[in-house]
C-alpha cells in the first residue's frame, strides 16, 4: 500500500471514529451516506476497527447494532485528529502557494473570467487566491448536483457548463481531478481550457490560455 492509500485509509478511519463518538446507534447505511463511502467499504472498516480494539459492537433491539469507542479508540481518534490537522495545514500551505502561482499566471495571460470545477476543502483556498489576483469567478461546477451554494454562487452540474461565460476552468478539488476533467471534456469543453495545479500546464500558460479578445 502506498502513502496515498494509507492517508486515505487513515482519513476514513478518523471520520468513522468521529461519527461513532457522536452517536452510538448509526447504522452502516447511515455511515455510508454521511461519509460518501460505499456500504461494503464501511463494513470492512468497521471490522478492521473492531479487530484493532478501537470499537466494540453491541446488538440492540430490532436486530440493529450499536458501536462504541473503546479507550484505545478514543486515543486513536485523538492521534488521527492531530494527524489530520497537520495534513490540512500542509495542504493549505501547498494549495495557497500553487493557486497563487496559477492565478497570477492566468492574470498575465489576460484571461479574467474563471470557472471553478470541484467543491471540497481546497475550493475556499482557491477562491482567496483568485480574489487576490483580481480575477472574476464566473461560476462553479461540481459533479454532485446536491451541493450547497458557495460564497453566494449557485453550484451547477458539470453538464450545465454551456450556460456559463468564461475564459478558463480551473480544477479546484484534490479529489479526482482527472475524472472532473474527463467530465468537462465530455460536456463539450476544450481540454486546453481546463487547468489544474496538479499538471505542468503552468510551463506553457501562453499556449493553453487563449488571450481575451
Q: pLDDT tens digits, residue range 199-213?
A: 543 333 333 333 333
Judged against a pLDDT cut of 50, whether residue 127 lies above it is answered with yes
160 and 106 both lie in a single domain: yes
Q: Which of 36, 52, 69 is the last residue of a domain?
A: 69
CATH of the domain at 157: 3.40.50.720
CATH of the domain at 37: 1.10.10.10
pLDDT at 4: 56
In a domain, 202, yes or no: yes
- The predicted model gives 80-87 an average pLDDT of 81
- The predicted model gives 75-104 an average pLDDT of 84
Structure confidence at residue 109 as a pLDDT band (50, 70, 90): confident
Report how far Cα 183 is from the mean position of its chain's Cα atoms. Answer: 16
Range of the domain at 16: 3-69
In a domain, 136, yes or no: yes
- Cβ atoms within 10 Å, residue 141: 27
DSSP state, residue 68: E
In a domain, 29, yes or no: yes
For the whole model, what pTM was predicted? 0.61
Strand segments, DSSP code E, in 8-166 are: 55-60, 64-69, 113-117, 136-142, 155-157
CA angle (209, 212, 213) in 5-degree steps: 135
Cβ atoms of 113 and 167 closer than 8 Å? yes
Amino acid at each position: 500500500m502506498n502513502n496515498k492509500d494509507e492517508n486515505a485509509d487513515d482519513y476514513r478511519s478518523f471520520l468513522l471514529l468521529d461519527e461513532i463518538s457522536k452517536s452510538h446507534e448509526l447504522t452502516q447505511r447511515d455511515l455510508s451516506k454521511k461519509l460518501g463511502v460505499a456500504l461494503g467499504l464501511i463494513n470492512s472498516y468497521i471490522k478492521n476497527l473492531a479487530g484493532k480494539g478501537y470499537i466494540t459492537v453491541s446488538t440492540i433491539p430490532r436486530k440493529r447494532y450499536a458501536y462504541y469507542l473503546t479507550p484505545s479508540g478514543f486515543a486513536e481518534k485523538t492521534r488521527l485528529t492531530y494527524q489530520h490537522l497537520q495534513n490540512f495545514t500542509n495542504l493549505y500551505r501547498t494549495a495557497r502557494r500553487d493557486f497563487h502561482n496559477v492565478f497570477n499566471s492566468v492574470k498575465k495571460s489576460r484571461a479574467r473570467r474563471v470557472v471553478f470545477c470541484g467543491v471540497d476543502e481546497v475550493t475556499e483556498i482557491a477562491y482567496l487566491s483568485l480574489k487576490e489576483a483580481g480575477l472574476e469567478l464566473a461560476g462553479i461546477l461540481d459533479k454532485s448536483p446536491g451541493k450547497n451554494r458557495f460564497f453566494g454562487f449557485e453550484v451547477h452540474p458539470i453538464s450545465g457548463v454551456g450556460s456559463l461565460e468564461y475564459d478558463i476552468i480551473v480544477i479546484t478539488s484534490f479529489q479526482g481531478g482527472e475524472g472532473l476533467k474527463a467530465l468537462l471534456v465530455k460536456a463539450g469543453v476544450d481540454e486546453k481550457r481546463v487547468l489544474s495545479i496538479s499538471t505542468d500546464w503552468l510551463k506553457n500558460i501562453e499556449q493553453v490560455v487563449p488571450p481575451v479578445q
